[in-house]
Amino acid sequence: MFTLKGNRLPAADVKNIIFFVRPRLELMDIIAENVLSEDRRGPTRDFHILFVPRRSLLCEQRLKDLGVLGSFIHREEYSLDLIPFDGDLLSMESEGAFKECYLEGDQTSLYHAAKGLMTLQALYGTIPQIFGKGECARQVANMMIRMKREFTGSQNLIFPVFDNLLLLDRNVDLLTPLATQLTYEGLIDEIYGIQNSYVKLPPEKFAPKKQGDGGKDLPTEAKKLQLNSAEELYAEIRDKNFNAVGSVLSKKAKIISAAFEERHNAKTVGEIKQFVSQLPHMQAARGSLANHTSIAELIKDVTTSEDFFDKLTVEQEFMSGIDTDKVNNYIEDCIAQKHSLIKVLRLVCLQSVCNSGLKQKVLDYYKREILQTYGYEHILTLHNLEKAGLLKPQTGGRNNYPTIRKTLRLWMDDVNEQNPTDISYVYSGYAPLSVRLAQLLSRPGWRSIEEVLRILPGPHFEERQPLPTGLQKKRQPGENRVTLIFFLGGVTFAEIAALRFLSQLEDGGTEYVIATTKLMNGTSWIEALMEKPF
């Protein structure tokens, strides 16, 4: 298995070569290059191509134009729409989905989302109720209803696992991903970027501590770690506010060293055997603890820096509605000091969203500052952000954000980071709008927030998919409902954490399974919207 690269294929003594690719035109060019150089090299090989998740006419056309279509013995599709990332998390990992849907009017990923949902329903039963908010959500629901009609007769009758499906457009809540996530996992993602559940970390902190080493052989290659709930400790701390992680880690450290001390108490052969049998587990736990202690140290270096504090202060001011309508000093200074453009854009967009758009003067000022400092080519990026609604002039002179904030209780002053009582702990005060919508849907229902729903973009709707009488659930008292929540356009780890928090609430009544087009954060999101013409 090799990664797709231009020019010649890596040498290997094989007859068959299979390309697994996303149906993207630029990838076809690379494949054509591979095939052509291979053909020149001599003994012919058999080529096959598998498109993930679907075959595309355009791609095949491109291969044909490049004169290599005939070289493929098989052209098939591998309909992998939703990839499981964790017990409660599925993602399509489609980077371009947000841009395609909201900027380019290309609904391909929505179609794939609908297909993925149909597959899920084929496996886990028809979902009796569909709720949604947003233009794309509406589209996906329409496609699902249509596809259901297409599949009639071939459905197998399965007792439904999910009670509800909630489809949410990312552009209903543009705010949340812009803010810095403050959960443990969210911060790892913000600072180092989690890619396909792996993170690459600077290696220094992970160097094995050997005596007399003098630190001369520090590893230079990044430390790669897998992050998911299979790791006991990570499952426990990933969704906690970072400020609550330290105490857990030190508690764990005590427990583990106590467990190792047990060996002195093991006297009989039986006791020793018992101890030894637990050793692998204990050693794994100790390794895991060491890793996360190192990661926490790395993160702490960042979060205790003055600049991080200043940035967070500004974000929190915006989200709580303070001084959102004038040019912000901190942002100005960031630009003047040429901080990373993405950081600046995130802040400016956050301010715009928290003010229902900026005054024209303020907006133009920011834009001009950005163009002069970072280069005029970024005018294309700015246009993209404006098209996506992330950056916009305030129209009608009305700022709706305070109404939304108050009705949905987006800002909580009395947040408890250690033992949270509300989802707002994931951003140390700000409760993610998207998750609040989900929470209010399950209790007391969206009817209570009709007014706010009307302010937010796109239609909100409810569809029922009738079940045959035999499959209707009779709920036991105290049994939780299961809601599948699908974020069209991406979801952040902090939002996932908030949903998991709701799932675990004793009187919550709803468990969530999360699906999305892409696991993302503000940085990767803005990056996908940026355009670099050279």
Contact residues for another protein, defined by CB under 8 A = 25-26, 54-58, 61-62, 100, 104-108, 110-111, 114, 139, 142-143, 146, 149-150, 152-154, 332-333, 335-338, 364, 367-369, 371-377, 379-380, 383, 533-534
Which residue number, 148 or 223, has a Cβ lying nearer to another protein? Answer: 148
Cα 487 to Cα 140: distance, rounded to the nearest angstrom: 11
* Amino acid residing at 218: L
- Min dist. Cβ of residue 6 to another protein (A): 17
Which residue number, 224 or 338, has a Cβ lying nearer to another protein? Answer: 338
Which residue number, 115 or 240, has a Cβ lying nearer to another protein? Answer: 115
Cα angle 325, 329, 334; round to 5: 120
- Min dist. Cβ of residue 211 to another protein (A): 27
Which residue number, 56 or 465, has a Cβ lying nearer to another protein? Answer: 56
Q: What are phi and psi of 183, to 5 degrees?
A: -80, 165
Cα 534 to Cα 524: distance, rounded to the nearest angstrom: 19
Give the count of beta carbons closer than 10 Å to the beta carbon of residue 270.
9
On whether the CB atoms of residues 34 and 9 are closer than 8 A, the answer is yes
Which residue number, 277 or 337, has a Cβ lying nearer to another protein? Answer: 337
Q: Which residue is listed with tokens 């998740």?
A: 53
Q: Which residue is listed with tokens 């309909």?
A: 79
Which residue number, 334 or 496, has a Cβ lying nearer to another protein? Answer: 334
- Min dist. Cβ of residue 55 to another protein (A): 7
- Min dist. Cβ of residue 23 to another protein (A): 8
- Min dist. Cβ of residue 132 to another protein (A): 15
Structure tokens at 84: 């499981």
- Min dist. Cβ of residue 11 to another protein (A): 31
Structure tokens at 182: 């403050």
Which residue number, 260 or 365, has a Cβ lying nearer to another protein? Answer: 365
- Min dist. Cβ of residue 170 to another protein (A): 18
- Min dist. Cβ of residue 419 to another protein (A): 26
What's the gap between Cα 4 and its chain centre? 24
Which residue number, 235 or 379, has a Cβ lying nearer to another protein? Answer: 379
Q: What is the secondary structure of 179-246 as a DSSP string?
A: SPP-BHHHHHHHHH-EETTEEEE-GGGGS---TT-TT-S---SPEEEE-STTSHHHHHHTTSBGGGHH
Give the count of beta carbons closer than 10 Å to the beta carbon of residue 503.
17
Structure tokens at 302: 């960042």
Cα 84 to Cα 99: distance, rounded to the nearest angstrom: 23
